[in-house]
Structure 1
Amino acid sequence: MIEKIDFLIIGAGISGLSTAIELQKFGKVLLLLKSGYEDSNTFYAAGGIASSGPWSKDYEGHIQDTLIAGDDLCDKDVVEFVVNHGTERLQQLIEWGVNFDKKSNGDFDLGQEGGHHTRRVLHTGDLTGSSILEVLIEKARSLPNLEFRTEQVAINLIEKKGKCVGAYVLNNKNQKIYTIQAKATVLATGGCGKVYLYTSNPDVASGDGIAMAWRIGAEISNMEMIQFHPTCLYHPLAKNFLVSEALRGEGAILKTIQGDRFMDGIHPQKELAPRDIVSRAIDKILKETGDDYVYLDISFKDPKYIKKRFPGTYHKAKEFNIDITTDPIPVVPAAHYCCGGIKASVEGKTSVPGLFAVGESTYTGLHGANRLASNSLLEGLVCGYECGNYIGQTYKNMPLCELEINEWISHNVEDSKEAFVITSNWQEIRATMQYYASIIRSDSYLLRARHRITLLHDEVNSYYWNFKITSDLIELRNLLTVARLIVESAMARKESRGSHYTLDYPTKADVVRNTTLKRYW
């Protein structure tokens, strides 16, 4: 049986929810969550949301800081659009109940983060993403035209006569696969941090939307531009806890294990330099010293202030017997944000009719070669709204496509007795990408990565068609696709720019261009 719905949205972070809230005004919306409500990059967005409005009155400064961080690869029109439309979207969030921190005089307590030349970051402690997500979920769940389904894993998009007409989905609750047909399908699946060994991303960030879009023929741009966050908590049990950049915005300093501050001579903004610069500086220290981590130290600040301003970081670190009011925090750079992705407009339009994409899974031109801190939530909010409104206005009077599509058929597949194949391949992908295609690259590194990833891709593709599909297998397949896209894009860029740095081409090329790939495997 084929389930038919007006609009299908895959992913429920800030971009998916913002799209859904606007789009449900025009028809029935089905919103699929891969796991639970809190499993998204939005939930873990600690620092805040950058926005110029009545609170900072600095639109032009915000635009310029974004362009500088993007290292000449931003689309200026997109940057201006998102910055200028952010105020209205933020005011709407405030009306819905997001209580951004304020000073005693009632003004917003604006933060400052890397790449920003002034304070313009709205925040709720260091738990901004979860605060916004809570309000958006409450708002969305109150709307009659919007249905949520948790533990639903999209497998593939459905293409018919050059159009996207829906998706095949695994219900992880009962392990059944079903077919959804929709007028328009929106990918809001977030990033791909789990392709690396060290990441700030949750386990669900396996690049699913990017991989599915690639398989259906959508254009993918600038996948080599993976932003590494300089400060992820280093502890064997911490897994992927991000130490917010806001700590450095409030004066925290980076030191070697020996106690030497090392950002002084590297960049005029020192610890507040753009993330790619800080990450490379740490990576260089670690390679030179052989140490496993460096320290981030804010312990010289008043303990009461630290606990109030950074409650999330304080309590999380305490779980690992680290008191940030007295101790420096061990940190390492970690894959944090995918600045490239599915090529899309601010309304989410992709190169495939019927397929839209918003948020971290896209490349709109806002972030360019390197994202300015706290611009991600802003993009999700603005582009989500624009996408919902555009699809609604365009498709509201359009009948549901009556093209015949095939239901999912499993051809004589069996349960795998070799789960270790998935586990071992997962580990090998992440290690290969971490060592050969991460912060510092070279042609020889990338060739090694390409060779290993291609072999793994062929092996897993064969496995995929012969055994029963599980969520782990779906994610593994998607991770391999994304890994190949990152490596191929990195090999195509013969320069160093933004978050892409290669030893063989350490300077910027004279011609600025995007790396855009179309399906060829």
Structure 2
Amino acid sequence: MITDVRPGPGSSRYLLGFDLRRRPHLEADVLVVGGGVAGLCAALAAADHGKEVLVLAKATMRDSNTAWAQGGVAVVLNQAEREPEDDIEVHVRDTLVAGAGLCDVDVVRDILGDAAESIDLLRRHGCLFDRSEKGALELTREGGHSARRILHANGDSTGAEIVRSLAAAASAHPRITVIENAFAIDLLTDGGRAAGVIYYRREELVAALAGTTILATGGCGRVWRESTNPPVATGDGLAMAYRAGATLADLEFMQFHPTTLYIAGGARLLITEAMRGEGAVLKNHVGERFMPRYHADAELAPRDVVTRAIISEIRRTGFPHVWLDATHLGAEFLRGRFPTIFQACAKLGIDIATAWMPVHPSAHYHCGGIVTDTRGATSIPRLWAAGEVACTGLHGANRLASNSILEGLVMGIRAGNDAGNAGGPPGRVRISAPTPEPAPDGLDVPDLVRSLRAMMWRQVGIERNAAELAVARRSLAFWLSHQARGGFRDRSGWELQNQLLVGSLVASAAERRTASVGTHTRADSLGAIDTTHLGYIRTDQEPP
């Protein structure tokens, strides 16, 4: 529940000028923007209501946070398949502890209660989770969990298997049309209601119109320099919803995953928490296992605790990273249980069966987003949101490991059901927007993106303080109103504007929350706990 809603940074309503009477357009009963777990579940649910569904994926369906997810799905299964000591209330308790006082208890219990049924849907669509030689589902444990309740697939490629099965089901469904490499620029509203989006594909602007719209665009990790996210995670859904007048909340809570492979010049490969769940330990540069000094659960403490401990060790020792030691688990086990990590490290010359892995935290998952109810409905009529782009109240100030795909499943299905029930032909839509002045000539967009990501990492990163947050807010405001003003003509420019807006929103939220809680660490905090839910609305004009 939002307890404090204030105006956020100003923004233009649309990023470009258009007149729908002069633009090609597609029509559907239900429009889904996003091709990850939430979007695909929503599309399948809406289509099962007999509605024509159009899915727009920014890249391919292999390029999403879901597809890149390694660890698994947290779920309390039926009594025959779960651990004897586990039940829904234990999972609820673990989620609330990780969320540091900002979870909505009723929402947590409601969403987790539908988890097992959602997993059954995945299995019906052909998703194959790992099983033992005897045929039993293999469950693992991750940080913050009191029991082994994490389902996984192909060792450490759970997200890819989920997307494979759902994408195959969507592609085979006669009422679902999927368009890949379609970049949604702005949410269209007509009379205050969502009417679709305008998107860019093959150097052409197209309007996608629908009776109901579902945003499932994923996260914004690429706003930070160090990130586990794919290049598509630039916060587009957050930005377009904000420009359209939707209420956003808890934007300061970017979760920094404790363990990503840290090699200069290399991609920040996620080292799944499941590896620590199987027994890998963190060590500092002198070989000391340090996590027992920070938390009773050691390596299996909640992610925000482990991340802060790693940063503390880096600061204390002056060494640029820490080490993850899995050598005692043996080559055969590591190769079979974590094939993706084993092979990726081998390509970099690291045999994880004999050598420690250099690791450092990176931006991973955004706990805030577009405010929705427990059915995915937003503050804009006929607009739903599901997955990482949404803020339901499940995660609070820090997401419990492997609750993300779970939420995408449950909320994607719910949003698809309700948007499917309400969806239908879009009717006559006549929207236009004035053409803004052209963007500045000669602007080096890639350089400005690098500057933005570096500043967000330094000033709005793992540890924050008032002085640096003020610098970030002023810098972002200047870049938005000067270098990135006006109308761009390609995806890179629109992504830049989205990233700057999202960065500005996060910095403003982090500046307002003066106390540390969950993933939001204020180095200048006086130690008070602040469990206010901070919401944001646009400032420049009334919601359309």
- TM-score bracket, normalised by the shorter chain, equals over 0.9
Q: 1:165 to 1:261 in 2, by over 3 A?
A: same
Q: 1:68 aligns with which of 97, 103, 110?
A: 97
- Tell me if structure 2 keeps the 8 A contact 1:47–1:374: yes
Deviations along 1:3-51, whole A, 9 cap, x unmatched?
3221111110000000001111231111111111211000111000000
Q: 1:439 aligns with which of 453, 457, 462?
A: 462
**Shift of residue 413, structure 1, vs aligned partner:** 5.2
State TM-score, norm by structure 2. 0.91
In the alignment, is residue 514 of structure 1 matched against residue 533 of structure 2? yes
In the alignment, is residue 136 of structure 1 matched against residue 166 of structure 2? yes
Partner in structure 2 of residue 11 of structure 1? 34
CA distance in 1, matches of 2:252, 2:244: 21
Partner in structure 1 of residue 3 of structure 2? none
- Tell me if structure 2 keeps the 8 A contact 1:202–1:240: no
In the alignment, is residue 35 of structure 1 matched against residue 59 of structure 2? yes
CA distance in 2, matches of 1:354, 1:387: 11
In the alignment, is residue 302 of structure 1 matched against residue 302 of structure 2? no
Deviations along 1:386-433, whole A, 9 cap, x unmatched?
0111111233xx552424223x7767859x8635x2111101111111
Q: 1:445 to 1:514 in 2, by over 3 A?
A: same
Query: Which one-letter code corresponds to 1:49 in the other structure?
Result: V
Deviations along 1:210-237, whole A, 9 cap, x unmatched?
0000000100100001100001111234
- Tell me if structure 2 keeps the 8 A contact 1:214–1:518: yes
CA distance in 2, matches of 1:371, 1:383: 16
Q: 2:404 aligns with which of 352, 356, 376?
A: 376
Deviations along 1:274-325, whole A, 9 cap, x unmatched?
1111111111222333322111010111211111111111001111011101
Q: 1:200 to 1:506 in 2, by over 3 A?
A: farther
Partner in structure 1 of residue 256 of structure 2? 228
CA distance in 1, matches of 2:461, 2:494: 23
CA distance in 2, matches of 1:168, 1:399: 17
Partner in structure 2 of residue 349 of structure 1? 377
Q: 1:460 to 1:3 in 2, by over 3 A?
A: farther
Partner in structure 1 of residue 69 of structure 2? 45
Q: 1:363 to 1:383 in 2, by over 3 A?
A: same
Secondary structure of 1:300 counterpart? helix
CA distance in 2, matches of 1:95, 1:506: 51
Q: 1:170 aligns with which of 185, 195, 200?
A: 200
Q: 1:148 aligns with which of 178, 183, 195?
A: 178
Partner in structure 1 of residue 214 of structure 2? 186
- Tell me if structure 2 keeps the 8 A contact 1:460–1:477: no
- The percentage of aligned residue pairs carrying the same residue is 38
Secondary structure of 1:517 counterpart? strand
- Tell me if structure 2 keeps the 8 A contact 1:15–1:384: yes
With 132-141 and 96-105 compared, the bigger mean Cα shift is at 96-105
Q: 2:451 aligns with which of 395, 408, 428?
A: 428
- Tell me if structure 1 keeps the 8 A contact 2:185–2:199: yes
In the alignment, is residue 96 of structure 1 matched against residue 115 of structure 2? no
**Shift of residue 69, structure 1, vs aligned partner:** 0.5
**Shift of residue 160, structure 1, vs aligned partner:** 1.9
CA distance in 1, matches of 2:526, 2:167: 45
Query: Which one-letter code corresponds to 1:85 in the other structure?
Result: D
State TM-score, norm by structure 1. 0.95
Partner in structure 2 of residue 212 of structure 1? 240
Partner in structure 1 of residue 18 of structure 2? none
- Tell me if structure 1 keeps the 8 A contact 2:369–2:389: yes
**Shift of residue 506, structure 1, vs aligned partner:** 4.6
CA distance in 2, matches of 1:328, 1:95: 40
Deviations along 1:436-493, whole A, 9 cap, x unmatched?
111111111111111111111112442x42x4x2111111111001101111111111
- Tell me if structure 1 keeps the 8 A contact 2:211–2:422: no
**Gap regions ≥5 residues in structure 1:** none
With 95-104 and 318-327 compared, the bigger mean Cα shift is at 95-104
Secondary structure of 1:369 counterpart? coil
Partner in structure 2 of residue 23 of structure 1? 46
**Shift of residue 348, structure 1, vs aligned partner:** 1.3
Deviations along 1:313-352, whole A, 9 cap, x unmatched?
1001111011101010011100000000010123211111
Q: How does 1:325-474 map to 2 (within 5 A)?
A: 325-395=353-423, 399-406=425-432, 418=442, 421-462=444-485, 464-465=486-487, 467=488, 469-474=489-494
CA distance in 1, matches of 2:205, 2:438: 13
CA distance in 2, matches of 1:2, 1:176: 11
Partner in structure 2 of residue 311 of structure 1? 339
Q: 1:247 aligns with which of 265, 275, 283?
A: 275
Q: How does 1:286-297 map to 2 (within 5 A)?
A: 286-297=314-325
Secondary structure of 1:516 counterpart? strand
Deviations along 1:66-109, whole A, 9 cap, x unmatched?
11101111111111111111101101212222221122332211
Secondary structure of 2:334 counterpart? helix
Partner in structure 1 of residue 514 of structure 2? 494
**Shift of residue 512, structure 1, vs aligned partner:** 2.6
**Gap regions ≥5 residues in structure 2:** 1-23
Partner in structure 1 of residue 286 of structure 2? 258
Deviations along 1:362-401, whole A, 9 cap, x unmatched?
1000101100000000000000000111111233xx5524
- Tell me if structure 1 keeps the 8 A contact 2:260–2:268: yes
**Shift of residue 241, structure 1, vs aligned partner:** 1.2
Alpha carbon RMSD of aligned pairs, Å?
A: 1.6
CA distance in 1, matches of 2:307, 2:482: 33
Q: 1:457 to 1:287 in 2, by over 3 A?
A: farther
Aligned residue pairs, count: 510
CA distance in 1, matches of 2:209, 2:124: 35
